[in-house]
Amino acid sequence: MKKTITAIAVATMSILSGCAGSKAGVPPVGVPDWYVNQPSGGGIYGTGEQQSNSLQLAKEQADFAGCKEIAQTLGQKVEGLTKQYLGQEGAVKSSEAKEALANAARSIVNINLTGCVNKKREVRELPDGSYRVFSLEFLDPAGAVAAAKGARDAQQALAQSKQTFDELDQLLSRDVQGPKAP
C-alpha cells in the first residue's frame, strides 16, 4: 500500500509540475486580467470571486473558492490517474489492493490544502457599499505531495488508534467478565 500511495503522489507531482489552469480570453470590465488568464507553470492555480457587505467574509470566501478550484483540478487529475492505473490489465490483481488504491486516491483528493496560498487579491468597493474580492490561489507540487503524505500518515494513525482501542476493549471486557472457570 505504501508503494501505491507513493506512486500516486509521484505521478501527481509530475502532472502538477506542468499543469496550470488557463481561462483564455479577454477579461470583462472590472475583472483582473489574472482572473481570466491564470499564470501557467510551476503548479496549479485557482481563482475565486465573492461579493459581500463584509470585506472579511468576501475575502475569505474568494480565497476558499480559489482553493476549492485547485482541489477540483487536483481531484480530476488523481481520479484520472487512478482510473488509468486500475484499467491496466494485470496492474492490480486483488480486490483488496484495488480498494487500497481507491482509498489512497480519495485521501489525496480530500486533503486539507494547507499548501494553498494566496498569490494575488484585488478588492473593489461597489457603489452600494458592498465589496467584491478577486483572489488568485496557488498550490505547488511539493505542497501537494506533502499534503498527500500528511493524509496518508493521518489515515495510518487513525487505523492504528482504532486497533489499539479494539484491543483495549477486548482486555476490559475480559477483565469485567472475570476469569473463566475450568
Candidate from 39-48, 51-60, 80-89 with smallest mean pLDDT: 80-89
Cell matching residue 181: 472457570
pLDDT(19) > 50: no
CA distance linking residue 73 with residue 16, whole number of Å: 10
pLDDT(59) > 80: yes
**Which of 44 and 96 is assigned the larger pLDDT?**
44
**Which of 34 and 174 is assigned the larger pLDDT?**
34
The domain segmentation of the chain, as residue ranges, is 2-177
Q: What is residue 176's predicted lDDT score, i.e. its pLDDT?
A: 62
**Which of 5 and 136 is assigned the larger pLDDT?**
136
Q: What is residue 112's predicted lDDT score, i.e. its pLDDT?
A: 54
The angle at the Cα of 140, spanning 135 to 19, to the nearest 5 degrees, equals 90
Q: List, in order, residues 6 or more apart from 141 with CB less than 8 Å away.
A: 12, 13, 16, 17, 42, 43
Instruction: Give the rounded distance of the alpha carbon of 25 from its chain centre.
Output: 28
Q: What is residue 83's predicted lDDT score, i.e. its pLDDT?
A: 60
Average pLDDT, the chain: 73
CA distance linking residue 75 with residue 46, whole number of Å: 13
* The CATH number of domain 2-177, selected from 3.10.28.20, 3.10.20.740, 3.90.1150.10, 3.40.720.10: 3.10.28.20
Q: List, in order, residues 6 or more apart from 26 with CB less than 8 Å away.
A: 36
Residues 118-176: tens digit of each pLDDT: 999 999 999 999 999 999 999 887 766 776 777 777 778 878 877 887 877 777 777 66
Instruction: Give the rounded distance of the alpha carbon of 81 from its chain centre.
Output: 15
Q: What is residue 58's predicted lDDT score, i.e. its pLDDT?
A: 93
Element (H, E) at 72: helix 55-87
Instruction: Report the candidate in 20, 19, 15, 45 with the shortest Cα–Cα distance to residue 116.
Output: 45
What is the signed CA dihedral for 114, 116, 118, 119, rounded to 10 degrees? Answer: 140
Model pTM score: 0.54
Q: List, in order, residues 6 or more apart from 22 with CB less than 8 Å away.
A: 37, 38, 40
